[in-house]
Structure 1
């Protein structure tokens, strides 16, 4: 299933965090309606029964950057 990646950079030298915009990670599965591999002909009730209709739980990352944030630099 497709999912989102959420990144919030923590800047060690000033203690600030900056959250980046979410990025959608495509799964390339024909059974996921958000995937580029999902057939355009797959619609209606049969699609809702056999294909994923929602995103997977987002990947969340909080890397610690050994620098000041762009606002403090």
Structure 2
């Protein structure tokens, strides 16, 4: 199984997955003011019809 995925980082302070999210923001305040799930395009997962470079290299060694 391929483990390579493109990472899209959110820069918003209101996203709990962002590196800019304040460390002192915690529940219950965080649940009221910050996104608790990934927004577009961070949640975007394209359907890629090819293998990642690591898997392609492993397949060519067989």
TM-score (norm 1): 0.53
Structure with the larger helix share: 2
Structure with more strand by fraction: 1
Could you tell me which runs of 5 or more consecutive residues in structure 2 were left unpaired when the two chains were aligned: 51-55
**Which one has more relative contact order, counting CA pairs under 8 Å at least 6 apart?**
1
**Matched residue, 1:54:** 37
Q: Please say which structure displays the higher CA radius of gyration.
A: 1
Equivalents in 2 of 1:40, 1:72: separation in Å? 45
**Residue segments in structure 1 that go unaligned for 5+ positions in a row:** 1-17
Moved more, 42-51 or 55-64: 55-64
| Aligned-CA RMSD value | 2.5
Question: What is the TM-score normalised by the length of structure 2?
Answer: 0.60
